[in-house]
Structure 1
Amino acid sequence: MVKLSREITLFAIGGVGGLVVDTGIVQLLVGLANWNPYLARVPSFLLAATFTWWWNRQYTFAARRSDRAAHAEWLHWIGLMSFGAVINYGIYALLLMGFPALHPWPAVPAAAGSVVAALVNFSTARGMLFKSPKTPA
């Protein structure tokens, strides 16, 4: 149980880092580059998911293995995180549609979607990618 709570804590820390990347990128693209707030989530998701893959590989699931080469593991991570991304994006879009005043502040609905999606992302990361304990070399 201690190991699971440690993984949850580290996953949450990495998630906060990913949230900073995601919301920072989407806010910059919309606020400074005048991107469409719906399209801006594509690069912000990819960069945030890349950061969280790196974090979780190095820290959260350091005692687990995926049995994949790094590039294949990253692709699998992006695929798995896409489930959470659909939830995240759905909440994001609903909030933008329901509250047009949020259009200049896309970081707010992005953060709301991220909180809900985090539960799905932890479960899929731990149960489907980093599912096997590392064996001592």
Structure 2
Amino acid sequence: MATTTELWRFGVVGVIGLLIDIGVLYLALAAGCGFYLGRALSFVAAASGTWLCNRLWTFREQRSGRTLWAEWLHYMSLMLVGGALNYALYAALIALSASVRAWPVLAVCAGSLAGMIANFLSAKWLVFRHRH
């Protein structure tokens, strides 16, 4: 499949992940987890959701040859690179802006954009790469 199509699909899946991220963050905030623990929980939920969607749709023609559990762990470990960029920007915006603390969805969106390219390259070339 063409990289352009994969990138488009990855972007669509990213929006799904963003919605999961925001939803879980707001649930965690309502449960009293706070901005930072809540965001860690929402990241794991969003990354897990995007792994499944990318596996079933974006990179469905490419299999890693790993068990589901091993593939998920590999994906999650590689997503930590983009996740670190994502979380760093989120945390900086939360720390620096009262407006963003009032609307944490803004920090989630900014962080997600920051990590997207790193995560696409990791997913395409390191997780869902066909092994012979």
Deviations for 1:29-82, whole angstroms, at most 9, x for unmatched residues? Answer: 22x223210110111011101100000000000111111000100000110111
Q: Which residue does 2:47 correspond to in 1? A: 49
Q: How many Å separate the matches in 2 of 1:7 and 1:101?
A: 35
1:97 matches 2:95: yes
Q: How many Å separate the matches in 1 of 2:128 and 2:76?
A: 13
**Structure-to-structure mapping, 1:106-117, within 5 angstroms:** 106-117=104-115
Q: Which residue does 2:18 correspond to in 1? A: 19
1:104 to 1:34, Cα distance in 2 relative to 1, 3 A: farther
Q: Which residue does 2:121 correspond to in 1? A: 123
Which secondary structure does the structure 2 equivalent of 1:65 belong to? Answer: coil
Q: Which residue does 1:10 correspond to in 2? A: 9
Equivalenced residue count is: 132
Question: How far has the Cα of 1:101 moved from its partner?
Answer: 2.6
**Superposition TM-score, scaled by structure 2 size:** 0.94
Larger Rg: 1
Identity %: 36
State which of 59, 73, 83 in structure 1 corresponds to 2:71: 73
After the TM superposition, which parts of structure 1 deviate over 4 Å for at least 4 consecutive aligned residues? none
CA RMSD of aligned residues (A): 1.5
Higher mean alpha-carbon deviation, 80-89 vs 95-104, is at 95-104
Q: Which residue does 2:36 correspond to in 1? A: 38
Q: Which runs of 5+ in 1 are unaligned?
A: none
Q: How many Å separate the matches in 2 of 1:101 and 1:35?
A: 19
Which secondary structure does the structure 1 equivalent of 2:37 belong to? Answer: coil
Q: How many Å separate the matches in 1 of 2:85 and 2:63?
A: 26
Question: How far has the Cα of 1:23 moved from its partner?
Answer: 1.0
Q: Which runs of 5+ in 2 are unaligned?
A: none
Which secondary structure does the structure 2 equivalent of 1:63 belong to? Answer: coil
Question: How far has the Cα of 1:104 moved from its partner?
Answer: 3.1
Q: How many Å separate the matches in 1 of 2:54 and 2:92?
A: 29
Q: How many Å separate the matches in 2 of 1:106 and 1:39?
A: 13
